[in-house]
Structure 1
Amino acid sequence: MTEDATAPAVSDGAASRERREKIRQRVADEGFVQIKALAEAYDVSVMTIHRDLDVLQSKGWLRKIRGGATAQPSAMYHGDVRHRLQAMAEAKRQLADAAAGLVSPGDSIMIDESTTGLSVAELLPSRGPLTVITNFLAAVNLLAGKPDIDLIALGGAYYPAYDAFLGLRTCDAIRSLHADVLFMSTTAITNGHCYHQSQETVAVKLALMDSADRRVLLVDHSKFAKNGLHQLAPLTAFDLVIVDSGTPEEELAALRTRGVPLHVAGSDTPLP
């Protein structure tokens, strides 16, 4: 099975783009797809699929592994936003409910590109009037035109796999603003520090942290079992860390020992 070498270059380019988009969607839907299965499905060579996956991986859509491709995150790969939206949905709702209790009418709020932050954004229209600042296009689309929400969208270079704007221009835009509270999440927590997969993400999150009076980190319990490549900050750099009720007691004890300002969402303890 090989591609037609006599096909015009323009047509071949269009066909390649269409095939890669189908591959991207299939990997996101199924979580893992074998290279051999993709080659058979699209009637191309295994080497062509390898090249397709290399392109998609370079853009952050998926991760190549032995024999196939996956949408599952790793220490080097953040995970497709569609996959992230489906993960830990109940824990994210619990965290968002707790975070919303910290919001007062008139506040200015920053939200990062995390899907946990998106769960917070869903609750904000009922808490207005508010000013919301975000680099997450999904949150921009959610809040655009909502009554009592003054929305500031942070521009920059658009990263489709994150559905967010990142880079130097985004950081510059953040530094020109100031907010009452920042709600953000993290990819992984190791030894009391936050980690992420990309330097671009770390740079933007650091700028957000520097531009808010109060920093609130929202963490579901799965983050304690994951790894990241680039260190962001210690948990003690946040004014409050909110975890979900599924967080193991040993993790809670370790956080308290480190002096992390902690709240367990869904508990009877009032928010500080």
Structure 2
Amino acid sequence: MAQAPQNNAVDVFMAEALPSDSRQARQLARRQLIVEAVMAESAMRIEDITERFSISLMTAHRDIDELVERGLLRKSRGVVSATPTSLIESSDVYRSTRQLEEKCALAEVAAGYLEPGQAIFFDDSTTVLQMARFLPSKAPLTVITNSLTVMTELKEMRDITLMGLGGQFYNWCNAFMGQMTRNEINNLRADMFFVSMSAIIDDRVFHQSAEMVETKRAMFESAQKRILLVDHTKFERRALHSFAHLSEFDVVIVNQGTPLPIIQRMKDKNINVVVAPMKPQSVQHANL
């Protein structure tokens, strides 16, 4: 079976209606939950899947093989992941629904650093995307981004000068990357760069995609001030490619609920960490 692009395949699969046959309905529902669990964890052992869903090893392999055939997961040496390398980012659409309240809290604090008249880099992350709703109150601004999602979100905003970075388009993250993109970035200078990444371990920031790291690093080097937005789920998660040490950022914004030992460790290392307070759920939803 030909593999559809992952961000389309995931969306289609997760939206499939349950069949009328109860056995098939249970099977599809379980497989949808397996996809969600693997994407949330980045990678899972097959044994962990059998325990979480109370299924036999044979059933787990049958479910996973079907998901592999559909291009949704990868299986290698008893480990299931959403990537050919076990370390690729999940789809843009899927990522946008994860830790949404935390992302909104981070974005609101980050927007407080904006001043009218600034030129700013926005990366392609779904966390930084949440800053869009705060931009009109900070206008006029010039926003430079490689994210097609951000471009679409900002294109109708008044007093926002939107500069889209071209290059090779990557469907899985809905963004442009590559040498052409980096060349454009290198010819620009911005006041600020707002970025989020996939993983933090040993006080370093990592990402699954080498191309993504190179593109974001170009923005990093071309901005006067660098601000990292990261929710608590990113700490101690693993990814392949190193991006920067936390001490290289001017501000590291974390959400309330990030373990206190992690926050204290960063402060002890003179990392400028700011904690974004979480709003009550009802208030958060009213603002969306």
1:63 partnered with 2:73: yes
Residues 69 and 122 of structure 1, relative CA distance in 2, 3 Å threshold: farther
Amino acid at match of 1:25: D
Question: Relative to 1, partners in 2 of residues 1:257 and 1:200: Cα closer, same or farther, differing over 3 Å?
Answer: same
- Per-residue CA deviation, residues 122-181 of structure 1 (Å, 9 max, x unaligned), is 321232110000011100000013101000001111111111111111111111111111
Q: 1:152 to 1:23 in 2, by over 3 A?
A: closer
The aligned counterpart of 2:217 is 206
Q: Distance in 2 between matches of 1:136 and 1:75?
A: 24
AA of the residue aligned to 1:83: Y
Alpha-carbon distance in 2 for matches of 1:77, 1:172: 25
- 1:141 partner SS: helix
Aligned to 1:196: 207
**How far has the Cα of 1:121 moved from its partner?**
2.2
Aligned to 1:165: 176
- Aligned-residue Cα RMSD (Å) equals 2.9
Structure 1 CA distance for aligned equivalents of residues 259 and 268 of structure 2: 15
Per the alignment, do residues 178 and 255 of structure 1 end up closer, same or farther by CA in structure 2, a change over 3 Å counting? same
Equivalence for 1:243: 254
Contact between 2:74 and 2:84, CA under 8 Å: does it hold in 1?
no
Match of 1:105 in 2: 116
Matched, 1:85 2:102: no
Code of the residue aligned with 1:130 in structure 2: it is L
TM-score where L is the length of structure 1: 0.78
Q: Alignment length, in residue pairs? A: 237
What secondary structure, in the 3-state scheme, does the structure 1 residue paired with 2:172 have? Answer: coil
Q: Distance in 2 between matches of 1:155 and 1:73?
A: 26
State percent identity of aligned pairs: 35
Work out which of the residue numbers 122, 127, 141 in structure 2 matches 1:116: 127
Q: TM-score, normalised by structure 2?
A: 0.74
Q: Partners of 2:84 and 2:101 in 1: how far apart?
A: 19
- Choose which of 32, 35, 38 in structure 1 pairs with 2:34: 32
Unaligned runs of 5+ in 1: 4-15, 40-45, 54-61, 268-272
Sort the Cα spacing of 1:144 and 1:35 in 2 relative to 1 into closer, same or farther, 3 A: farther
The DSSP-based 3-state class of the residue aligned with 1:173 is helix
Match of 2:265 in 1: 254
Return closer, same or farther for 1:17/1:264 CA change in 2, 3 Å cut-off. closer
Superimposed CA distance per residue, residues 212-246 of structure 1 (whole angstroms, 9 cap, x where no aligned partner):
11000011010003111000110011111111111
Evaluate the alpha carbon distance shift between residue 96 and residue 65 of structure 1 in structure 2; reply closer, same or farther with a 3 A threshold. same
